[in-house]
């Protein structure tokens, strides 16, 4: 905005000096200050035909009268078209830049929340790993589903604590599919990927099986 205003003042001053030397007989161009005010009115396109006719008819020289039209035409093109379009472009650029910044902040916030969620899941897996092997086994998951402390931790981490037989069977299938090497245990990152899909949105066995298929595609 500052540079737009500075450029506008420079353009108006330049044409005011030129207009005063050409149309000094006209009341609207009797001095540089008066010319600047008149050209500002032309810049807003408010009553500019009257100012133009006054400048054109004030001079007794045919050359000045001929020059009046290109003078005003050039000034209007530069001030009202170029400068205003420049200002519009600057405003649009600022709006787009602000929108991009907000989008980046939103993505950063989502990423930070996701990383916090993963941290909670890794902490939960460490709590569930009762033998401290660094691997999660099915019997440890079953034990966690019966432990009130771990159930609360699972709720806090957004994991669906499936205690009924149907959901537990789906969770068992999810564990088996994640266990691609049939070792009966999952490393931390695979267990995290499994628990990410076993969230509160998976409120039915169908949704759990969808999570199973998605996890299977990622692992394979």
The C-alpha atoms of residue 13 and residue 18 are separated, in whole angstroms, by 9
DSSP 143-201: HHTT-HHHHHHHHHTTB----SHHHHHHHHHHHHHH-TT--SEEEHHHHHHHHHHSBTT
> Rounded to 5 degrees, what angle do the CA atoms 100, 103, 104 make?
85
pLDDT tens, residue order, the chain (220 aa): 677 788 888 888 999 999 888 888 888 888 999 999 998 888 888 788 888 888 888 777 778 788 888 889 898 888 877 777 877 878 888 888 888 888 888 888 878 877 887 788 888 888 888 888 888 888 888 788 777 777 777 777 766 655 566 667 777 777 887 787 888 888 878 887 777 766 544 434 444 455 556 555 655 5
What is this structure's pTM? Answer: 0.46
Name the residue with tokens 């050359």.
63
Q: Please state the φ and ψ torsions of residue 159, each to the nearest 5 degrees.
A: -95, 135
Buried b / exposed e over 165-184, threshold 16 CB at 10 Å, is eebeebbeebbebbbeeeee
Query: Distance from first CA to last CA of the chain, Å, rounded?
Result: 56
Q: What is the pLDDT of residue 17?
A: 92
């Amino acid at each position: 905005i500052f540079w737009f205003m500075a450029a506008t003042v420079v353009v108006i001053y330049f044409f005011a000096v030129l207009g005063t030397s050409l149309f000094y007989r006209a009341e609207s161009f009797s001095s540089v200050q008066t010319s600047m005010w008149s050209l500002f009115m032309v810049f807003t396109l408010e009553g500019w035909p009257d100012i133009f006719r006054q400048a054109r008819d004030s001079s007794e020289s045919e050359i000045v009268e001929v020059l009046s039209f290109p003078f005003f035409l050039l000034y209007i093109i530069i001030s009202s078209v170029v400068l205003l379009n420049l200002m519009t472009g600057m405003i649009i650029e600022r709006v787009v830049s602000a929108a991009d910044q907000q989008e980046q902040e939103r993505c950063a916030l989502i990423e930070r929340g996701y990383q916090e969620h993963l941290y909670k899941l890794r902490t939960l897996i460490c709590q569930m790993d009762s033998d401290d092997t660094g691997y999660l086994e099915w019997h440890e998951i079953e034990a966690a589903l019966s432990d009130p402390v771990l159930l609360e931790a699972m709720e806090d981490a957004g994991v669906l604590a499936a205690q009924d037989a149907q959901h537990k069977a789906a969770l068992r299938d999810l564990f088996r599919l994640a266990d691609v090497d049939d070792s009966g245990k999952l490393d931390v990152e695979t267990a995290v990927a499994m628990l990410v899909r076993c969230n509160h949105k998976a409120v039915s066995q169908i949704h759990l099986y969808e999570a199973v298929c998605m996890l299977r595609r990622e692992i394979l």
